[in-house]
Structure 1
Amino acid sequence: MMASPTTPIRRALPRVSALALALLLALGASAPALAEAQDDGTVTWSVRPADASGEDGRAWVEQELDPGASATEHLAIRNFSEQEVTFRITTADAYFQENGRFSMLPSTEGSVDAGTWIDVVDEVVVGPGEVEIVPFTTTVPENATPGDHAAGIAASILSHQVGEDGSSVGVESRVGFRVMTRVAGELTPSASVEAVSSEYDVSWNPLAPGDAVVRFEVVNSGNTRLMVTGTAAAGGRESAFPGPDEIDQELLPGDRRTFTVPVDDVWPLFSVPVELEVVPTVVGEGEGTPVDAVRVEAGMWAIPWSQLAVLAGIALIVGSGVWGRRRSRRRIERLLAQAREEGRREAAAPTGD
């Protein structure tokens, strides 16, 4: 897994999993020797972009090359440990996870794109407290398609743990950074929105509005990286995405990302209009270049159950009162009619001499 650019130092993994066991088996005897973490897990290291003299302050490498062209960059491996460590250097195709974090394919999965374009030594020995500068060369194939291609480069070690059954299992831990290569040619940034849906969560307080949730997928249908922002609105209320506590949402060409946007305080009006605006912008060379925004209009059912329940209660009370008054009036009328009838009978009765 790629380390975040802001936290490049990572301690060797202390736990064992079935995935780790599969990784160890996949490495096999033909893999270069990896450094072994000590039992107390004290092997720590960082990997940063560099020039020939040392770290240069970049978080990752971005380069633009013509098909068939090559470029040489460097990585700086800093060993914070008190022992000499042999690091395995690996490259792989890279991708953005569903949460927007950057990662590279595991060692057990083969690369087919930019991860295969990088040439670097298999392993590097770094002394305790020392930094080793390692060159690597990216060569773009002649038939590479124009646009952005993502790869990662990492330095890894293998730590051993004892499983519950007493067997020794290894976990590969790696730290690295992204290598973004833009192949020169016609750039066609584009995005589309699919699978729009929404739902309403009614508030059982009749004096309070409910909440809506809008879900949709954004597809990077062009050949450049895109940063995606936008707004989702329902019933006149609006929410921006990504939210203030979420990381930037960057999509590589061909990426498909699912977004879930909450829209709070929406009054239920039976049918509520939903409006979605997705605003993609180009990342990298030409950063900030706007791409055609995508706007989608939809709707959702928002039945005001709590308000209807209150109205039903009021109607029941009013109806009961009306029915009671009518019943009381009929009873009074019946008593009056009975009294009049008795009066007539008494008036018609013969009187004695």
Structure 2
Amino acid sequence: MKTHPEHVVAPLCSRVIAAIAVLLSVGAGGVLAGTSSAAAADEPPVSWSVAPAGADGPDGRFSVEHEIEAGRSIDDFFAVRNLGGEAATFALSAADGFYNDNGRFDMLSSDRESVDSGTWIALPDSVTVAAGDTVVVPFTISVPGNAEPGDHAAGIAASVMSTSSGDGASVGIESRVGFRVMTRVAGELAPALSVGHVIADYRTSWNPLRPGDITVSFEVVNEGNTRLSLGGMVAIAGHETAFPASTDRAQDVLPGEGHVFTVEIDRVWPLFMFPGEVTVSPTVTTADGAMTTVAPSSASLFVWAMPWPQLLVLAGLALLVLALVWRRGRSKRRVDAMVSAAREEGRRERGSLITPNP
């Protein structure tokens, strides 16, 4: 049994589908554990939390991770704590998991059908918890005999229904809180990925004394059978920029999923064109929790960086120089013409002063 090292609880989000809204608290880095509250218009609020547990209560895990052979099963527990002032009944469910566009782990909403490890989890339909009490709920993960080796993600959630009235209509709201369940089916791991849809764009600063910026976007697709933690480097225009940024968490991608990265490279002077390269260096978590590296994958890129502002300035300077040269030449020609006219006038005047001999 492994424990996930991260613990981040995300804010609550909501979605209304027809007359049912699904509220799912999603944790960063693959953790769905958290605390939520919900209340109907005329009912006291219900507040609760859900976390992995041992038989005696919460055990400090924030997600569940097991390696199980195909055709075998394993038992585990989670705890539902009622933080409200009255007893409450919580519906329990399991569903396939995925990483959303924001990089956070999520699980399928109740109106969508699971087809993978969300169907491997057996648990009670509901649990009733007294005010301020905690109930430990058992569940079983049963891996089919034909399950493919590798990582399979799901989530377990506890939910309550509430209603909200407005404009004469009542809307049912299902509020869910849960955690991630990662099942690794024993067998050969074959990590693989591809890098594609590489797009680079240079944004010109129309101030010729300021450099521009390059934006590089690309998609990394997990083509193997194990969860990958992605990171790497974009090298272009003499800059090497890491992704994700040092202030961001590592981005996990499940088998068959992809994630689009966007990398900003600041302060790049336009020098007509820049070749570059995207290098993705993934890591894989082994069964004992250690991280192992995978052979990097790379893709080339190219971007035009036309120095239009600088060219306009140079063109303006060239026109100014040409104008000054033309004006100087014109002035010189006028002076030369005036000097020639003066000389001619002088010769005529000297000729009129000469009297011929009789």
* TM-score (normalised: structure 1): 0.89
156, 159, 183: which one aligns with 2:162 = 159
Once the two structures are TM-superposed, the CA of residue 341 in structure 1 deviates from its matched residue by 2.1
Distance 1:83 1:22, change over 3 A: closer
Q: 1:289 is paired with a residue of what secondary structure?
A: strand
Distance 2:95 2:354 in 1: 123
Q: Residue 38 of structure 1: CA displacement?
A: 4.4
Give the corresponding residue for 2:244: 242
Partner of 1:110, secondary structure, is: coil
Tell me which residue corresponds to 1:21.
Answer: 19
For 1:308 and 1:230, locate their aligned partners in 2 and report how far apart those are by CA, in whole Å.
Answer: 35
Please give the secondary structure, in 1, of the residue aligned with 2:17.
Answer: helix
Does the alignment pair 1:289 with 2:292? yes
* Equivalent residue runs for 1:155-234 within 5 Å: 155-164=158-167, 166-234=168-236
Question: How far did 1:158 drift?
Answer: 0.6
User: Residue 32 of structure 1 corresponds to which residue in structure 2?
Assistant: none
**What is the aligned partner in structure 1 of residue 31 from structure 2?**
none
For 1:18 and 1:337, the matched residues in 2 are separated by 94
Cα drift, residue 22 of structure 1: 4.3
Cα separation, 2, equivalents of 1:41 and 1:104: 28
Query: In the TM superposition, what is the alpha-carbon distance from 1:78 to its structure 2 partner?
Result: 0.5
Question: Aligned ranges for residues 311-330 of structure 1 at < 5 Å?
Answer: 311-330=314-333
1:350 CA drift (Å): 6.6
Match of 2:265 among 263, 266, 274: 263
Corresponding letter in the other structure for 2:214: A
One-letter code aligned to 1:127:
A
Quote how far apart the aligned CAs of 1:143 are: 0.3
Give 5+ residue unaligned stretches, structure 1: 25-34
Q: Which residue of 1 aligns with 2:56?
A: 53
Letter of the structure 1 residue corresponding to residue 263 of structure 2: V
- In structure 2, C-alpha distance between the alignment counterparts of 1:36 and 1:279, rounded to whole Å: 42
User: Which secondary structure does the structure 1 equivalent of 2:322 belong to?
Assistant: helix
Aligned-pair identity in percent equals 49
State how 1:39-118 maps to structure 2 within 5 Å: 39=41, 42-118=45-121
What residue number does 2:145 align with? 142
Aligned-residue offset at 1:222 = 0.6
Partner of 1:28: none
Structure 2 residues not aligned, in runs of 5+: 1-5, 23-36
What residue in structure 1 maps to residue 27 of structure 2?
Answer: none
Task: Provide the rounded CA distance (Å) in 1 between the counterparts of 2:86 and 2:94.
Answer: 25
Provide runs of 4+ in structure 1 moved above 6 Å: none
Q: Shift of residue 344 of structure 1? A: 3.0
Do the aligned partners of residues 295 and 41 (structure 1) sit closer, same or farther apart at CA in structure 2, a change above 3 Å counting? farther
Asked if the contact 2:227–2:254 (Cα under 8 Å) also holds between the matched residues in 1, the reply is: yes
The Cα RMSD (Å) is 2.2
Q: Which whole-Å CA distance do the structure 2 matches of 1:20 and 1:244 have between them?
A: 41
The 1-side partners of 2:149 and 2:161 are apart by 37
Residues 20 and 172 in structure 2, CA contact (< 8 A), matched pair in contact too? no
TM-score calculated relative to the size of structure 2:
0.88
Q: Distance in 2 between matches of 1:111 and 1:203?
A: 49
Deviation, structure 1 residue 152: 0.4
8 Å contact 1:8–1:176 — kept in the other structure? no
Higher strand share: 2
